[in-house]
Amino acid sequence: MQISKEQYYKLPERLQQHFYNGNFHCTTKPLKLMEYLCTLTKTPTGGIVLDPFAGSGTTGLACQNTDRDYILIEKEPEYIKIAEARLKFNSKQTKLI
In a domain, 85, yes or no: yes
In a domain, 43, yes or no: yes
In a domain, 4, yes or no: no
In a domain, 80, yes or no: yes
In a domain, 16, yes or no: no
- Residue 95: pLDDT above 60? no
CATH number at residue 69: 3.40.50.150
Residue-wise pLDDT for 17-53, tens only, equals 555 555 556 667 788 889 988 888 776 666 789 999 9
- Overall number of domains in the chain: 1
Range of the domain at 79: 27-91
pTM: 0.68
In a domain, 55, yes or no: yes
Phi and psi of 71, rounded to 5°? -130, 125
In a domain, 50, yes or no: yes
pLDDT band at 97 (very low <50, low <70, confident <90, very high): very low
